[in-house]
């Protein structure tokens, strides 16, 4: 007996000793579940072993431990040749659906825009991409069953296609075909990164579901929505919108001292102007400029720029709530306002060049613009009316 057959690879796999037990017990006519109980394995494992690794040379299925061990080691050999390497027809089908030419209704090729050559990076940023058929690996894998219902050789899993694209050792497909995928991602996202807790700063007590009911109906001013608009070179402007009056405030976020001079280091200081500490301080200064009556709560996106929200709440008294993941409609007023602000701060421009005075001027422009939802009053007028009514009520009650 070869030594490789006597030494178990891992407890995950059946050993030669266990296969001998399976062979002896099955010869005695003992059932699968009883065999599994005696060797400490699941019944499905024993059933699969008897079906897959039985000897067939004698013309009938007969289980022998030595033959079963030899079959198991033969199947376990690595590396295996890829299906896309050994099956040229399958290779051409997969590559054609990934990179195939776009055609019109008459079957004529549409060239599309000229694109930059693939250099091993992600899709070009704000640039033209090559027009291709662009089926996803999952679409290709499932469509094969429809196009070739009787040909079992024309089968491949979507994971095998991904591996052929992203793992150089698998070969078969050209590396540049990753740019034909919808994401155009040059590298796969590691599973550990996908499973990482991206919003560790968002606890259950600050979820939007715990926000007071009075916030939803917009009846009482003092509840705000906030977010950032991002520009070039890690520049940003904070936006705050009052839900009831649509009154807008812009938060100036200048870069910290040393930005562009200190080399970038992992987990180093946040010098771009919207780090957690800087953002909390900027919001605290903004809150201080308004009456406490007008600052009851703040609903923010899930960005980590407000991960220091606990300190901000203690210092300002403003309760912070975070929207659910991928739910921009929960902050619809703020999203609408950010769209209006793009008239003054277009995407792809450096926002750090604007001073606090200039941001205040833009905010004043929006607050002086009549709004249909306010009965064509301006946000400034709506907020001023509320403050006057509160003042009159306080005078009447004290008098």
pLDDT at position 131 over 90: no
Query: Tell me, what's the pLDDT at 53?
Result: 86
Q: Residue 42 has which token pair?
A: 């699941």
Domains in the chain: boundaries: 16-77, 83-180, 214-397
- Closest-CA residue to 306 (of 277, 286, 335): 277
Q: Domain 214-397 is in which class? A: alpha beta
CB-CB neighbours of 153 under 10 Å: 11
Per the confidence metrics, is the pTM higher than 0.85?
A: no
Q: Residue 186 has which token pair?
A: 């040059």
Across the range 373-389, mean pLDDT stands at: 90
| 98-107, 185-194, 250-259: segment of lowest average pLDDT | 185-194
* 212-226: pLDDT as tens digits: 888 888 888 899 999
pLDDT at position 39 over 70: yes
Supply the DSSP string of 41-74, one letter for each residue: --HHHHHHHHHHS-B-TTSS-B--HHHHHHHHHH
Asked if residues 186 and 168 have their Cβ atoms less than 8 Å apart, the reply is no
Q: Which residues pair with 371 in a beta bridge?
A: 377
Query: Tell me, what's the pLDDT at 233?
Result: 83
55/125 Cα distance (integer angstroms): 58
pLDDT at position 9 over 80: no
């Amino acid at each position: 007996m070869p030594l490789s057959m006597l030494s178990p690879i891992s407890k995950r796999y059946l050993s030669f000793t266990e296969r001998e037990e399976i062979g002896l017990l099955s010869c005695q006519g003992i059932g699968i579940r009883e065999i599994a109980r005696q060797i400490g394995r699941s019944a499905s494992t024993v059933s699969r072993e008897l079906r897959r690794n039985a000897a067939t040379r004698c013309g009938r299925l007969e289980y022998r431990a030595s033959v079963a061990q030899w079959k198991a080691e033969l199947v376990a050999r690595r590396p295996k040749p890829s299906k896309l390497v050994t099956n040229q027809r399958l290779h051409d089908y997969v590559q054609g659906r990934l990179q195939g030419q776009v055609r019109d209704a008459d079957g004529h090729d549409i060239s599309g825009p000229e694109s930059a050559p693939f250099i091993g990076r992600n899709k070009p940023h704000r640039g033209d991409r090559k027009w291709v058929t662009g089926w996803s690996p999952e679409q290709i894998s499932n469509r094969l069953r429809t196009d070739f219902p009787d040909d079992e050789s024309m089968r491949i899993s979507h994971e095998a296609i991904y591996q052929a694209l992203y793992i150089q050792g698998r070969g078969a497909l050209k590396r540049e075909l990753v740019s034909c995928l919808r994401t155009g991602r040059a590298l796969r996202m590691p599973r550990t990164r996908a499973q990482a807790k991206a919003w560790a700063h968002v606890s259950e007590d600050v979820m939007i579901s715990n926000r007071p009911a009075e916030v939803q109906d917009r009846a009482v001013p003092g509840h705000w929505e906030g977010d950032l608009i991002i520009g070039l070179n890690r520049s940003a402007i904070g936006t705050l919108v009052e839900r009831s009056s649509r009154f807008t405030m812009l938060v100036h976020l200048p870069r910290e001292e040393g930005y562009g001079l200190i080399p970038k280091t992992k987990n180093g200081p946040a010098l771009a102007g919207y780090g957690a500490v800087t953002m909390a301080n900027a919001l605290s200064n903004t809150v201080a400029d308004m009456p406490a009556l007008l600052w009851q709560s703040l609903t923010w996106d899930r960005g980590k720029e407000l991960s220091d929200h606990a300190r901000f709440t203690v210092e300002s008294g403003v309760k912070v709530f975070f929207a659910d993941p991928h739910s921009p409609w929960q902050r619809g007023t703020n999203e609408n306002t950010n769209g209006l602000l793009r008239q003054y701060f277009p995407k792809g421009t450096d926002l750090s060049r604007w001073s606090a005075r200039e941001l205040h001027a833009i905010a004043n422009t929006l607050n002086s613009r009549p709004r249909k939802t306010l009965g064509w009053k301006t946000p400034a007028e709506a907020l001023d009316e509320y403050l006057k009514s509160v003042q009159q009520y306080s005078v009447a009650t004290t008098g």
